[in-house]
Each structure stands twice: as structure tokens, then as C-alpha cells.
Amino acid sequence: MKAVYAGSFDPITLGHVSVIERAFKLFETIHIVVANNRAKQHLFTLEQRTDLVRRSIPEQFADRIVIAPFEGIVADYINEHQIEAVIRGIRNATDLEYELQLEQYIRHTTTAETVYLSPYTKHMQTNSSLVRMFFQSGKHELASHYMAADAYELALLYELGGH
């Protein structure tokens, strides 16, 4: 069964990675769609965010994953690739409220079912906004606690203009 896990991943965090790891217990193949939300001002470019996702995925899942940068409506990607499930991460009640609204949209535009997964407990408070704040304020070392090591090193290069 194929599933999609879509987000802006700006940047991808250990919370995202733990949702992906949990999802591999349920799905054979996971498409990670790195979406370009034009309503958001991203810290990293779409290409950079896609590279950060690649650096964050544990090696044991490499042959079961598709990483796809995508501009457009995620429902179009789901329909085009005949995806059967949509993975959504939930950390708290605020996330749930938003995700239930998104599920209604997915239900009306695709045949995919939505599956909610929470990150592992140690990553429940991890979010991309916090990591972006650390990078933007020059507190790069704090971001390292919330990202996979390889992704953090690459994000640091991007942020400091080295790539």
C-alpha cells in the first residue's frame, strides 16, 4: 500500500522523521511530498528542503521511499500517483483541529484515507517554526537538537550561504 506524507518541511525535524518511521510499520511505500506553499515565507528553498529530507531519512527505508518536490495541490499528486493513504502528524489538540479540516478536503478530492500518527514522545514538542527561529536568530546549535545530524549540517551550510 502506498501512502503520502506531505508538508513544507521547512526544515524537516526529528518529529517528522519519527512520524515517517512509524508510518513504515503500516505502509510499504511512502511518498514524501515536499510542498511549496506560496502563502508561506520559507527559510529554505524547495530544492534545499528536498535535500534536507533526503539527509534525514534513515538508510533502512531508502528503497521504500519516494521524495518528491511538488508545486501545486497535493490532492493532484495523490490522484496522479494513485496513493491510498495520507499520513498526517499530530502533536496536540491544535494540530488535530487543523488536520480534521484538511481531511475533509482530502476526502472530497481523492479516494485516499487519512491516517493520523503522532511523533515519538521525545519529539512531541518539536516543530519547524521553532527550528527556523533558532536559525534566524543565529542560535544554530539549538536547532541541532531537533534535526537529524546530516540534515542539520546541510541546513547550517545553506543558512550560512555555503550552498
Q: Which residues are annotated as a binding site for substrate?
A: 8, 40, 74, 88
C-alpha distance from residue 118 to each of 7, 22, 37, 49, 54 (Å): 15, 9, 23, 22, 21
What span, in angstroms and rounded, lies between the C-alpha atoms of 115 and 100?
11
Nearest one of 131, 137, 135 to 156, comparing CA atoms: 135
Annotated binding-site residue numbers: 8-9, 16, 40, 74, 88-91, 99, 123-129
Overall size of the chain counted in residues: 163
> Binding site membership for ATP: which residues?
8-9, 16, 89-91, 99, 123-129
